[in-house]
Chain A
């Protein structure tokens, strides 16, 4: 198993550009989530999904969209990038009935 994979690893965007951060897992986990990590603030939940076709907002959803058309993939879309979205983004997944989260390696995003 590859676990949770994320692409790209690094990305630089200009203000106003859009992009999609990719996340995939091959463990057949139903629950998937996106976090952002900023210095001194810990991981903050952006969006999550409890299964294919179901998504919901987390603590900081503004400026981000998600979709879950398959169990494996959970992409995160930035509609119009802003400097405040400069951060490290982590995708995570959990197996059914478990609270243990498996994290991907992260995407470091810089918006200039």
Chain B
């Protein structure tokens, strides 16, 4: 069955450093991969989408890589700030609009 893992359940990092979150998957051939941010008590918010034929995508301080051979995506937040503290979810999609979500990684950026 399809399985998505996101590195650790929680990640602590010092302000100003680069946070790197990992999303690994098995038994799946996604057409694209998305990253969402979720704050406590709120719904997820879309951040970035990367397609299977793309290696890297950037948006401001965010960078996503997608390696379909390793079946892995890395999500980087550079110059991290306490306001970046949240849970980050990866989601894999096929050519339709249905998604499979990972369990999330809770990031804490310490001042």
Is B49 touching A45 in the complex (CB atoms < 8 A)? no
Q: A99-B34, A99-B93 are in contact. Are A43 and B101 (CB under 8 A)?
A: yes
Q: A99-B97, A104-B43 are in contact. Are A42 and B49 (CB under 8 A)?
A: no
Most chain B CB atoms below 10 A, which of A33, A103, A105: A103
- Which of chain B's residues has its CB closest to A35's CB? B101
Is A48 touching B42 in the complex (CB atoms < 8 A)? no
Bound CA–CA A43/B75 (angstroms): 19
- Which of chain A's residues has its CB closest to B33's CB? A99
Report, as a range, how many residues of chain A touch the other chain. Answer: 20 to 34
Is B44 touching A42 in the complex (CB atoms < 8 A)? no
Is B44 touching A103 in the complex (CB atoms < 8 A)? yes
Is B43 touching A58 in the complex (CB atoms < 8 A)? no
Which parts of A29-69 form the interface with B (CB within 8 Å)?
Answer: 31, 33, 35, 40-45, 48, 50, 58-59
B contacts with A: majority SS: strand
Which parts of A1-55 form the interface with B (CB within 8 Å)?
Answer: 4, 31, 33, 35, 40-45, 48, 50
* B-contact 0/1 string along A85-99, CB 8 Å cutoff: 000001010100001
Bound CA–CA A104/B43 (angstroms): 6
Binding site for A on B (CB under 8 A): 4, 9, 32, 34, 36, 41-46, 49, 89, 91, 93, 97-104
